[in-house]
Amino acid sequence: MNQLPNALQFSHLLLKEAVSTGDQVIDGTIGNGNDTLLLAKLVGENGTVYGFDIQQQALQHTISLLEKNLSGLQNVQLYKKSHAEIDNVLDNNVRISAAIFNLGYLPGGDKSIITKSTSTLTALTTCLKKLQVGGLVVIVVYYGHPGGKKEEESVVDFCQNLPQKNFAVLNYSFVNQAHEPPFVLAIQKLK
Amino acid sequence: MNQLPNALQFSHLLLKEAVSTGDQVIDGTIGNGNDTLLLAKLVGENGTVYGFDIQQQALQHTISLLEKNLSGLQNVQLYKKSHAEIDNVLDNNVRISAAIFNLGYLPGGDKSIITKSTSTLTALTTCLKKLQVGGLVVIVVYYGHPGGKKEEESVVDFCQNLPQKNFAVLNYSFVNQAHEPPFVLAIQKLK
């Protein structure tokens, strides 16, 4: 058989399961735009992807990637803002089928600019509030970089303490690797 | 979307990926025979399922389940023996695409008869030796019962220490549940 999906591949498998044509979804860390592109294809022209990143470089990469691969950006709304501001930016009645976060730094960018616990937990809380029943918040946790371990602990702690009546939290990780590979946390809203 | 697969469902998804018609595979803990039946269907009449259990009740349930659901038992060889004896029972040149273990006690059986670290690790070692490149050893770890936690720790420790050049070890678990649900460890042979 093929190799077991790595964390990034598994996060995409989950998004493909969770997202349908016409859905509204959030990319909390657009980075180089790979998740944004996948989500834009999944929601189609009648859906909406809301994308957030604080770095101009991330927005430029993403716009360029989307222009190359889609006929236009009509179903993607990008914000040069922290994901901590999702709740301020989006209309109160927006309901999402999925959100994706890739924690850490922008690949190829300034490694000192990293996602941090406080804003990440604020963003996760907003996404869970906006999540439809059955929907998923998917987090790819990179933690090998300076500051990464602290954020990882906060996020894992946050997830472990979500009430099991309302949420199921899956941890998908490779456990015999010396180089601290990313792992996936997937939060499904049960009711 | 549907609920995320639980541990048992995920173990079956992995077996369906790993096993093809004509393969040889091992069920290290046949229990009530559900995994044995799945494996028998996956390998077909030209493959072989080798099944192990120390309890007569497990063999009886399994034979009855297989007779009800298959035209015969021609591709299943059941042994009333500990999985620690796999290496003594099977021919040296048997190569498998998959093995499955459900650790703990026999559902509906005597809860004081449980799988134990020493024999489990012996069995896992044999299965890894017989595993083809790309193949999977899948372990569903139940640990909520008396003695379960000790075995869980041994098995997790064994898996975490497998050399990453030769094996990838995936841990699939739900992390916000109070009732200690089972989790999956899946070991893939890389070379």
* Inter-chain CB proximity B175 and A169 less than 8 Å: yes
Instruction: Summarize pLDDT for B146-181 with one digit per residue, the tens.
Output: 888 999 999 999 999 999 999 999 999 999 998 889
Average pLDDT, chain B: 95
Whether B29 is covered by a domain: the verdict is yes
pLDDT number for residue A147: 85
ipTM over 0.85? The verdict is yes
pTM above 0.90, yes or no: yes
Most A CBs within 10 Å, among B175, B180, B188, to test the A interface: B175
Q: Let me know if residue B40 belongs to a domain.
A: yes
Is residue B138 scored above 80 in pLDDT?
yes
pLDDT grade for B43, boundaries at 50, 70 and 90: very high
> Is B23 contained in some domain?
yes
A167 in helix, strand or coil? strand
Both structure tokens of A123: 């963003």
B46 has pLDDT over 90: yes
Q: Measured in Å, how far apart are chain A's first and last C-alpha atoms?
A: 36
Encode pLDDT of B3-16 as tens digits. 999 999 999 999 99
Does residue B165 contact residue A176 with C-beta atoms inside 8 Å? no
Q: Is B165 on the interface with A (CB under 8 A)?
A: no
Residues ≥6 apart with Cβ < 8 Å to B137 = B98, B99, B100, B101, B124, B127, B128, B131, B186, B187
Residue A151, Cβ density class (10 Å: 0-12 exposed, 13-18 middle, ≥19 buried): buried
pLDDT band (50, 70, 90) for residue B114: confident
Please name the member of B172, B173, B176 whose beta carbon is closest to the beta carbon of A162: B176
**Contact at CB, A175 and B176, closer than 8 angstroms:** no
Burial of B5 (0-12, 13-18, 19+ CB in 10 A): middle
Sort out which chain A residues have CB atoms less than 8 A from B3's CB and list them: 134, 168, 188, 190
The pLDDT score that the predictor gives to residue B29 is 96
Whole-angstrom distance, CA of residue B167 vs CA of residue B111:
33
Beta bridge partners of B76: B49
pLDDT in the model for residue B146: 86
Reported as type and span, the H/E element at residue A67 is helix A56-69
Strands (E), chain A: 24-27, 48-52, 76-79, 96-102, 131-141, 167-174, 183-189
What local confidence, expressed as pLDDT, does residue B103 receive? Answer: 93
- Is residue A3 a part of any domain in this protein? no
Q: What is the CATH number of the domain that holds B166?
A: 3.40.50.150
Instruction: Tell me the pLDDT band of A116, cut-offs 50, 70 and 90.
Output: confident
Instruction: Report the Cα A60 to chain-centroid distance in Å.
Output: 18
DSSP letter assigned to residue A85? G
Q: Is residue B42 part of a domain?
A: yes
Q: Do B97 and B22 meet the contact criterion of CB atoms below 8 Å apart?
A: no
Tell whether B108 is covered by a domain: yes
pLDDT at B34 over 90: yes
Nearest Cα neighbor of A49 from A69, A71, A30 is A30
**Percent above pLDDT 90 for chain A:** 84
How many structural domains are present in chain B? 1
The confidence score (pLDDT) of residue B144 equals: 86
Instruction: Tell me how far apart the alpha carbons of residues B172 and B182 are, in angstroms, rounded to a whole number.
Output: 10
**Confidence band of A42 (pLDDT split at 50, 70, 90):** very high
Question: Cα–chain-centroid distance for residue B139?
Answer: 5
Does the CB of B112 have a partner CB in chain A at under 8 Å? Answer: no
Q: Does residue A117 fall inside a structural domain?
A: yes
Residue B106 or A159, more confident = A159
Comparing C-alpha atoms, which of B186, B163, B169 is closest to residue B99?
B186
Q: Which residue of B has its CA nearest to A136?
A: B1
Predicted local confidence at residue A103, as pLDDT: 93
Tokens encoding A14: 């989950």
* Mean pLDDT of all residues in B91-119: 92
- In chain B, what residues touch A137 (CB-CB under 8 Å)? none
Name the residue range of residue B172's domain: 11-189
Task: Judge contact between B11 and B138, C-beta under 8 A.
Answer: yes
Inside any domain, residue B114? yes
Residue B15's identity, in one-letter code, is L
Q: What per-residue confidence (pLDDT) applies to A36?
A: 97
